[in-house]
Every structure is written in C-alpha cells, then in structure tokens.
Chain A
Amino acid sequence: MEIAIEINGKTVRAERGETILEVLRRQGMSIPTLCHLPGLSPTGSCRICVVEVAGHQELLPSCSQRVEPGMSVRTHTPRLLEARKAIIEMLLASHKGECLHCSRNGECELQELGAAFQITERRYPYTQRQRGKDSSSEGLVLDHNKCILCQRCVRTCAELMGITALDAAGRGTATRISTTLDKGLNLSDCIQCGQCTLVCPTGALQSRDMVEEVARLLSQRDTFPVVSLSPVCALTLGEALGARAGKDLSGILATALRMIGFRRVLDMSAGDDLYLRLTAEEVGRRIQEGIPSPLFSLACPAWAQRSKHPLIHLPGDRSNAPSPRQLMSLLSAVPESATFTDNLSHIVHVSIEPCTARRQELLREPLPPGRKPVSELVMTTRDLARLIRLFGIDINLLEEQAADDPLGVHSYAGKIMGMSGGTAEMVAQMVEDQLGAQPAGERRSARMRSPRWWKETSIRIGKKEYAFIAVNGLARLEEALAQIARRRDIAFVEVMACPGGCLFGGGHSRTRDESTARARVKALADAHGMYRRATSAIPDPLQVLRSRLSSAELSYLLDGPRKEKTGE
C-alpha cells in the first residue's frame, strides 16, 4: 500500500513496511551507514544513519525505522551532521588508526566516512584496545583491533551462510567478535567461505594475502612457476582494475601472468573438464549398479568443510573425485606434448581462485608423492589484482594471448561451473551421453542457470528418472538435506557454499551493487556463447592424459585419492 511521507519538507510516496533508508535511497538520497547491509536484518547498532522524525525527541535509525503515514523526516540538519560526525569520532577513539599500515587503506568504509565528515583531529582521548589478531586459519585473518563491531560478518555468517561461526561475545567495551570459546578460526565452525571479507567495512576481516609470497617464489631461480587461472576470476578481475565490469580478461591475463614471470599459464577449465569426466563416470557407474543414494559433489571446499560438521548428516555418499584445483596441480606437472623440453621437476603451482576456502584443501588433502609440484599456493582474485598492480602492468595496453593447455583443448564447462547449477547440469548431460539417454535439450540449461537456491534437472533411462540437484548458499542447507533424504530418485547433488556459486565467491573484489552482479552473470552467459564447446565436443581428457602419463602416475591420479577417501 502506498503512503505519503514528508522528507525535508517534500512529500514523497513510500510503500508501507519500507524503512526510511529504503525510501531515501530510492529517492537518490544517501545517508551514511555502517552496520546496514541490504538483504540482512537491520540491527540499528551503528546509529550513523539516524534521522530526525517529527514527534520523536531522540534521533531514529533510518535503517530500522519503518515509514508511517504522515511521517515527517529531516535528514541533514546540523544536529544530525554533528551526531553522525561524533559517532565516527567515537569509533576512531578506540580504533587502531594505522591507515597507512592497513591493507584496506584506500578502500575502507570507515576511512571514507572520516574523509566525508572532514575529521582532521582527535577530539576525544585516544585509547586503543589491545585485542590481538587471529591468523590461525589458512584463508582468513581476523584483526580484532580494526573491528568496529558492526556485526555485518556475524549476520552474513548466520543469515546468508547459515554457519554462525562468529558472534559477538562479551559486553560493553569488552565486546568482540568471537568464535566458540574464542578459539582460532581454524578450530571453529568457520568454513572460510570468505563472504564476511566481502562485507567487512574495515580491515578487520581479510583473506590472507599471498601476493608477497608469490612474488618471492617468482624471483627464485630454481623454480618453475606454473599458474592456473580459474575462468571465473578472469570475469571479475576487471572490477578491481578499472575495466568494464564483466569483461572477460582471460586472454589479457595470460599475457600479464607471463609478464609477471609465470612459465606456464594454464586455464583451470582443463581441471574442471577432468573433474566433470571423473564425476560423471562415477555417477554413471552408480546408476548402472543401482545404488539408490545420491552422490555429493565436494568440489566446493567450503562445503566440503561444512559437510564434516557434527550437525550435518549427509543423506548420501561423498564424491571421490579430486577437486579441480588438485587435478590442475597434477596437470601442472604434465608435459604438454611428447616434445616438451622444460624441466618440470621444480614446479611451483599457483592457482588463482574466486575462493578463500580453497587454501584449506592444501592442509586437508595433501597430494601424495610422485610427479607433483614442490610447492602449492592459492591466490584470490583480489590478490591477483594487487599482484598486477604491484608489477605495474597496465592491462589496457596488453595483447591477448592463449593460455597453455595441458589437455590441448578445453570446453566451456569450466565457466559454467562457476555458477551454481553448472556442475549438476554438465554431469547430467555427460551421464545422459554416457548411458545413451534421451537428451533433455535447452530447457535444462535455462533452469539450471537460473538464480534459485534449489535447482534440479533429471535424466530418463528407460522408465526411471534420475534427479540431479544443485543447492547454493548454505542458509537453507538443513532444509535441502532433509528434502534430499526424503527422496529416492536423486543421483547427484552439487552444493556450493556461496550464494550464486563461485561467481560470487569470497575471493572476488568487494563490489556490492546490483549492476556488478548482473554484469557478472551476463559475462558468464556471454562466455558460453564464445566457447561453444560442450564437454561432449572435446577429446576425452582421460584419453589425453593416458597418452602423456605413465600408467603408475595415471593410476595414482585416478585411484590414489579415491582409496584415501573411501577410508573416511
């Protein structure tokens, strides 16, 4: 229902149930906010978005106060400007204000607010609280000294991800963001999805920065640095480097990464192809053997971590396939052809991922001995942007180059897998081909690429239908697992921790506006068009591998991890 309210003396239409802030933003008016995040429940805790409402003595937070008919709101009176400024100054009175020594320097919301309000001196006595820093986990770093307790991370973790690894603990000035019993993030329920690093307004929650380490490795003389670039990162990197949002930079990145010093630049699509092939074979085999329970994909490392939580009961089996990154790691040591001359015995494999959780894999499932890199590193898209800036490369001046391809040619599946539903769609299609079922056609793609949290498609073999499920975002995981447990027709389940999939992973640049999100999705759709190579149209990656690897290596690759995993 539409109602009329008055904002700064002007009558404005508003929907009943809207908050004042929503109305203001729709009117093109901005009020500073700190704790507010669209999509998450408002807490009204930062009090920066306060407005004056006629009839109320105190100032009201526009993020929480809903509009009422006839309400008269003032947004920028001297009293309000003074209050907002004072609140920011209060925060700064205990904030570790070492902006020049902070990785968020220049892209910090607190800094921006400070600048907007022209805070040029400390009016209040400065007492820095010594809180320490949690760098126990592989993926994330939580610096309590920079935390302003907006609780965006807490709400993201609980409401968006359904994990609640973090909550506020203590009271008053002793309040802090903490895990259960103040343990390190590595021992907590945290799955390191990194969604919190996307919403943290300051440098309190960050993904671990790998740029210096990569730079150091690149300079070592006796190493052979190989990089695998996730196709999704190539789509979002432009946002950080000032290119058009959604521009596919894979070709330019191949050039840039070679300039930086990588000896081989691989497209991670190869690993994705191989992963799909292995998974499809496993699903096909299970269907033929008549195993009724579904197979759960564990390609998403955050989900793989969550799946082991005592509260989670998996109504099916865990996939045995190594993750695409692990496969890339093995492929990095595979010569491109029989005539390949480089010495591959000192490989350092760096993979660039949209993900902060991937690094856990290095700890959890180390590669067994054999032909493999001497060292492995995982970088995020944000790290890559910084690396490129650090090396002073202007991407606008670069020519596109093709990536090295250990398998000769790759499909577009790697890009599709970047979006939730992609893996299930591709596996369904491959199993369909494999078992000679009736092709489902275009409608499947439309459905599986739609922005829903639960998507499913099915294949028909004889009279029986087999469902392939894709779930993204863990907020409704419990509901999804209960639904899966009730059904008997599910063959395969893909779970992606981040809502929307890797395209919105925790390692990308922190852009929150909707247009960027749309640009990312569109870029992915465009990329399908560009590649036009379905998984069925490329040579079987397993065949290719067989021609290049010794049988022992191949058997390790395909069987080794499998044996290890069934032991769980």
Chain B
Amino acid sequence: MRDQIVQILRKYPKSAPDEVIPMVLALQDHFGYCPEAALEEISLRTGIPSARLHGMITFFDGLHERSDPSPRDKHYDCPLPPATADPMAGTAGPELLRDILTGRLDTARLFTVLRRLRHEIIEAPVISVPRTTCSCGAGAEAVREAVARWCAEQVHPPRMRDTGCFGWCSRQPSMELQLPGKSRLLYSELVPEDVEEILDSLHSGVAASRKLVGQLPVPGAEDWENIRYIPRMSWMRPQRRVLLGLSGIIDPGSIAEYIAHGGYASFLKSITGHPSRHVCDLVDESGLRGRGGGGFPTALKWKTALEQSADQKYFVCNAQESDPGSRIASALIESNPHQVLEGLAIAAYATGATRAWVVIRDDAPLALYRMQTAISQASATGLLGTNILGSGFNLSIKTFSIPGAFVCGEETALLSALEGRRGTPRHKPPYPASKGYLQYPTVVNNAETLANLPHIIEHGPRWFRKMGTPESPGTKLIELTGNIARPGLVEMELGSAVDEIIRQPGGGFLQGNSCKGVVLGGPLGYLLHSRELGVHFDHESLKAIGASPGSGRLMVLGESTCMVDLACKVMAFATRESCGKCIPCREGSAILHRILEDLVHRPENERGHQTLERFKGVMQMEELARVMQDTSQCGLGRSATNILLDSLRKFREEYDQHLFERHCRAGVCGGLRSFHIVPELCTGCNLCSRRCPEGAVSGSPRTIHQINKEKCTGCGICAEVCKFSAIRMN
C-alpha cells in the first residue's frame, strides 16, 4: 500500500498547500478513501500534523477518511467529451491563432479564416447537440447517440460539433442544424426518435417543421423562409446577452472559435497597451460590482491588492456558486469557458497577480473539464505562461475543485480550503486583497464578474454604463426556476422589474397556478411577497425593500409552497452546511430547525409540556434569528435567517395556522396532513394497506378500509397508490 501511496503522490513533488486537497482526492480515486498510511505520508511531506489533516478531511463531504463513507447525494454527472491527448485537437494551430491575435494576417486572408472558424462558411452540413449539464440531464446524450447513428449511415456524413447552451432549459434536449450557405435551425425538446425525421430533411433541403423552434441568422448566409427568427422571440428579445452572447453559438471546447469571435483581444490589449493601474481605472469607471451577491465594487478590491507590495500575488476565480441550487457560474463556464478565463487573465494582470486558480464545485465535472481544456489550450496558444506574447507578463492558472462544502463560497473559507485546511471563514479585516492565500495579497472574484471584463475592455466603460442603472451598471445572469413557464438562464440589464422578467422571458407563471412569492438567491437569499414583484432587480431598489440580488437565482413559488416548510428546509440546509466554527450559526441554525420541525410535524401523543415547548420555540424564533444575523461570523450565518424572517413578516398567517390550527394550507407539511377514505369509492383492493409504511391503514380485502389517525404520519403514499381516488386529504 505504501508503494502505491508514494506512486500516487509522486505527481505532487512540491507538496504545496494548494496540493493537499488534490492529493487526498487522488488517493481517494485509487483507494476509495484516504487511508491512515496515506494521511501519515501527506503529513510527513507537508509538515501538516495528521490531526489537522483529519480535521480537514472530515470537513468536506467529498473526502473520506474511512473505507465506508456514508453515501452522499449524487448529482447527475454529464458524460464528458472523449479525451484527447492534444488540447488543440479540433481547433486551429497555435501559430495561426497567434497571428490572428497579433494582427499579422493580411485583411483578406484574415476575413476568410475568421469566417471559417466562426462556422459562417461551411462545406458540409453541421449538426450540433449541446453538451451541458442541463441538456444531458434532459436526455441529450441519447439524442446525440441517435444523431451519431444517423450520421454513420450517410455516404457523406455531416460534421458533428459540440456547442454550449442558450440557457433555454425548458427546451432541452435540442439540436442545431446548419446547411452550407443557410442560417442555423434550432430543434428542441427532442427524443431520439425525432432525430431521423428531422435529419432526413437535409436531403430534401426543406426544413422539417416538427419540433422546430426557429432560425439563427448566420452572417453572409441565406435565411430560411417563413421560419421565425430566434433573436426576435419573446424568450430572447427582452434579454441583453453580453456574457451569454456566444453561449450556444460556439464550441466551448475550441479556443479557435472564441478567438475568431474576438476573444482574447481584450486581454492582449490590456497587457500590451495598458499599465495595470490603467486597467483598474477602466473597471473603476465602468462601475462593475461583484456578482456573487455582495455587490462590492470590483475595482476597489483590485486597487487594494495592487497597492500591496508583496513578492507574490494571487487571484482566485470563484465559480463555487454562492447559492447551492444555482448553476450560473458553471453554466457560464460550460458554454464559454474562455470568456471567464480571459476575464481572469485580465484581472490577474490588473492586480499584479501571477498565479491564479479557478475554483469550481466538485458537482460540476463538465465545467471543470471545460475549464481545464480551456487552460491547456490557452497555454498551448501562448496566452498563459511566462512572458505572454512578449509582454513580459507571467501568469499560470490552475483549476481547483472544492470537494463539497457550501461555505467555501465565502472568500476566506475558500482560501482556507485552498491552503489545505478546514474551510472555515475567518475575521475580516484583514481582507484577502491584502492578506489572502498564505498571507499574500489575493483577490477573489466571482466567475460572472470576471466574464464582464473582456467586454468592458473591448467596448469601454461608457458603453458598460449605458446598461443597467447608475449604481448597478451592466447586466446580470438570472436563473429562472420554480413555478415559471420557461425556466432557464437569462441575461437581463440590471434594473429590470422582477415581474417583467417573470413575464418575459420567463413566460409568466406556470399555467393553472398563481404566485405566492419569489425567492431571490436561493436558501440564503430573500423572500419577496407577490405584492412586491414590481421591484427593480438592482442593488439599490432591492436594498430599499430589505433584499439583495444575491446569486441571481429567481425561484417562483406557487400556491403549493408552504412558507413554514420552506423556512424549515432553509434551516435544515443551514444546519447541514454551517462550518461549525461560530456558535450563533452552528447552534442557532440547529435550534431554529428544531423549532420549525416541531411546527411542520404533528408530534404523536404529544404531552402538555411539548405543546408548551412548541409555543415557546415560536416565541423565541424571531429574536434568535435576529441574533444569528447580528453576530454570525460570515455570510452563511448572517443570511441563513433571511427567508425565515421575511416569511415571518410577510406570511405570518401561515405560521399562525400551523401553530394554532395545526393546519398547512398548502398541504405540504406531512405532519399536519391527514387523510380519509371515501367509503363509496373504496373497493377494498388492499393496496393502500400494504403500502402504508406505518401500518396505519386497516381493512381486510374487499371490505372498506380505514385510516388509523394515531398511526398516520401524513406521508400521503396511500393517496398516491389508490387507483380509485378513494383516499382524500382532509
């Protein structure tokens, strides 16, 4: 075993702090866990005491110190593209790309080269099936296989190509079809059986109309007649797609396509034309604010770091979402990794950092893969490394995967993890910009923030300020979820009204359902009442009603949402994800969770003092939540009670109903539901009795059954299995 351990650790000769977690992950890949001998070996190499390593390993959900790890929630993993040894395979040669960037091609040649690379001129039909986490989850892999099968049967097979995603999640899986000289056609909501019919139309030259969404114009190509233009559709039109401009258009695995669309020009312009200070000033003028939720002015952080005199500075791109359900950063990277990478490179240059990481959640393997490919392609092209394109600027970038700890979205916690320690936050100041990774100046910026930079450098701060509001300029990626007709990822100018966003591009509330409220920014975000939806989506307007844009996820809650249950789930989340360091967050969230649990569950055979305890708990809830907000060390504890406090303020009557009437209007809280059997409909099939996990349904076959209320926990399985709709909720 020791030999294997030594063999595995050979890949990490420096045993640097940022290699500790990768070391454990590599050992886990081999052994399934980090064995004790490996722990000792890492301790010996790094000088980190083994107790500290153990503390670190037990902190992360994805690291295991024992061979029988308790199973973790498994996320859907998108199959990765086939591995290639050469990162530049399928793109253009590095020399050509460098020539394009440095303007060494004559105009005529450049024009043709660029048009080819942009797929504006193609010789054979091109079929692309987006490869993103959301499309794979919807079944894109099967569609891709069907396309591949169809292609294999052709005499002149069309070319298949990976693309990213428009963000139109409800339309997945989709497929794009491009014939030479024609604009692109987009088909959506496909099943593998549709593929043949659509592709056969290639032979006739007539667009198949079934499942057709519309066409995307290609410059210099002929448009299809009588087919809708996608950019003019109500999903696209209200959007201001800057960051998403190339998502779904280019192949995220090809640096050549990105460069052909003008990519890396801003980076080159920065390192050759502007001193670092000047880049900071440009960004300062643009008024760009952090997109992670805090809305801190980006340039302010940068200038702090730039002013530090230190022999090493670092930069971190935080793609570890500030909201667990959100996939904004990973979607951005999955569809257009080079945009984030270029932004990171510009930011590193502006702050004087020469080493940087892209920190990605471990449940986003495709984003990680895309970013790794992007980094190797950029290095191969000479856009990363030493003396980049003769500018004298050095930069090396690595990816870093946090093995499952939500709190590591907080910058100081993230840096702790990067240093191979427990991902617990620490007190600020000193801010990471002056004392970060290993006490060196380190700026941590959100991936979305960084993706703005190439555009700001390209078009200038004045252009940027034309979008959004004076205090919150620019656009914001917004993830629409919940009870909404068209869920997906959209990009809107800051300052758009929330109800407008829900109407267009969101398509309004899901049919047959109305809206109770909206959660902004996930479990640590804010709860808006349906009456407040006229508010504009920017920092100032939201602050005025006691909220903030947060991560940018906008979840519409329908009538079937119970606010008490929602608050309870948020608290369960906070209890699970609290790092455990500070008392208010660790203990407070657990206590609040317990109080809320008591509300949503009907305790069996409750005694008098338990009822008293429930009432007492509810009385303390508000104060406790406020103390947590006031005193917790980091944003997790401070924001964990937002939704609870908002729901207490805006939906008080639901709490009262749960407490006094023991009734849940939405019928969600299992503990408060009860069921009865309609005697006229019951056939005595006995199915409910057999399925009831509590043995609460009694009755022999062919007699009318009854539910024992003492035993019933309100899970509702009986009602679900009954084929005669004989079981109804009270």
Interface on A for B, CB 8 Å cutoff? 42-48, 50, 58-59, 61, 64-66, 79, 82-83, 86-87, 90-91, 93-94, 123-125, 127, 148-149, 158, 163-175, 178-182, 188-189, 310-311
Contact = CB atoms under 8 A, between A and B. Distances in A.
A148 B49 CA distance: 23
Interface in B537-588: 575-584, 586-588
B51 A83 contact: no
B582 A124 contact: no
Interface centre among B49, B65, B422 (most CB of A within 10 A): B49
Given A58-B629, A90-B587, A93-B591, A44 B59 contact: no
A425 to B, nearest CB: 33
Contacts of B582: 44-47
A149 B627 CA distance: 19
Given A86-B627, A125-B594, A168-B422, A189 B49 contact: yes
A87 B577 CA distance: 19
Contact of B630 (A65, A79, A91): A79
Contacts of B53: 180
Interface string B378-400: 00000000000000000000000
A306 to B, nearest CB: 12
With a 10 A CB-CB cut-off, give which of B39, B43, B583 has the most chain A CB atoms.
Answer: B583
Given A64-B427, A172-B577, A125 B65 contact: no
Given A58-B629, A124-B617, A170-B580, 14 more contacts: A47-B633, A58-B630, A79-B630, A83-B630, A123-B620, A125-B591, A125-B594, A164-B51, A165-B51, A168-B581, A169-B54, A171-B577, A174-B580, A180-B50
Contacts of B422: 167-168
Interface residues of B, number: 52
Given A83-B631, A180-B50, A171 B587 contact: no
B638 interface: yes
A46 B587 CA distance: 11
16 contacts: A43-B427, A46-B582, A47-B582, A61-B633, A90-B584, A90-B591, A124-B617, A125-B594, A125-B595, A125-B616, A149-B580, A164-B49, A168-B422, A170-B58, A170-B580, A173-B587
Contact of A181 (B65, B577, B624, B633): B65
A87 B59 contact: no
A52 to B, nearest CB: 9
The CB with the most chain B CB atoms within 10 A, among A47, A66, A79, A94, is that of: A47
Interface string B28-60: 000000001001100110000111111100110
Contacts of B426: 43-44
A168 to B, nearest CB: 5
B51 A166 contact: yes
B405 interface: yes
A410 B598 CA distance: 70
A481 to B, nearest CB: 14
A206 B39 CA distance: 28
A44 B427 contact: yes
B265 to A, nearest CB: 42
Contacts of A93: 587, 591
A410 B51 CA distance: 44
B575 A189 contact: no
A158 B50 CA distance: 12
A91 B52 CA distance: 25
Contact of B580 (A66, A172, A178): A172
Contact of A91 (B583, B613, B633, B638): B583
Contacts of B373: none
Contacts, number: 161
Contact of A158 (B40, B49, B578, B580): B49
Contact of B427 (A65, A79, A175, A178): A65
Interface of B: 36, 39-40, 43-44, 49-55, 58-59, 65, 405, 422, 426-427, 429, 575-584, 586-591, 594-595, 598, 613, 616-617, 620, 623-624, 627, 629-633, 638
Q: Which of A127, A169, A170, A182 has the most CB of B within 10 A?
A: A169
Given A168-B422, A172-B580, A179 B627 contact: no
Nearest to B614: A125
A119 to B, nearest CB: 13
B632 A47 contact: yes
A59 B429 CA distance: 14
A173 B51 contact: no
Contacts of B620: 123-124
Contacts of A45: 581-583, 633
Nearest to A311: B44
Given A42-B427, A45-B583, A124 B591 contact: yes
A376 B422 CA distance: 42
Contact of A125 (B586, B588, B598, B627): B598
Q: Is the interface of A mostly helix, strand, loop or mixed?
A: loop
Contacts of B623: 82, 86
A181 B590 contact: no
A313 to B, nearest CB: 12
A343 B148 CA distance: 98
A462 to B, nearest CB: 42
Contacts of B580: 149, 168, 170-175
Query: Which among A79, A83, A172, A174 has the greatest number of chain B C-beta atoms within 10 A?
Result: A172
Residue picked from B50, B595, B627, B629, most chain A C-beta under 10 Å: B627
A170 B59 CA distance: 5
Contacts of B43: 311
B627 A180 contact: no
B631 A178 contact: no
A87 B429 CA distance: 23
A387 B606 CA distance: 48
Nearest to A58: B630
B427 A87 contact: no
Contacts of B49: 158, 163-165, 167, 189
Contacts of A64: 427
Contacts of A125: 591, 594-595, 598, 613, 616-617
A173 B52 contact: no
For A79, A148, A181, A310, the residue with the greatest tally of chain B CB atoms inside 10 Å of its CB is: A181
Nearest to A129: B590
B66 to A, nearest CB: 8
A96 to B, nearest CB: 14
B631 A172 contact: no
Contact of A50 (B40, B575, B613, B631): B631
A179 B51 CA distance: 5
Contacts of A164: 49, 51-52
B591 A87 contact: no
B304 to A, nearest CB: 15
Residue of B53, B589, B590, B598 with most partner-chain A CB within 10 A: B590
Interface centre among B575, B576, B631 (most CB of A within 10 A): B631
Nearest to B613: A125
A291 B199 CA distance: 90
What 10 pairs across the A-B complex have the smallest Cβ distances? A175-B580, A164-B49, A167-B55, A90-B587, A64-B427, A169-B58, A180-B50, A86-B627, A44-B427, A47-B631
A453 to B, nearest CB: 20
A504 B522 CA distance: 52
| Candidate in B53, B59, B613 with the most chain A CB atoms within 10 angstroms | B59
Contacts of A167: 49, 51-52, 54-55, 422
A47 B627 CA distance: 10
B51 A178 contact: yes
B624 A61 contact: no
Given A124-B624, A168-B580, A94 B590 contact: yes
Contacts of B629: 58
A544 B405 CA distance: 67
A44 to B, nearest CB: 4
A171 B51 contact: no
Contacts of A79: 630
Nearest to B36: A181
A89 to B, nearest CB: 9
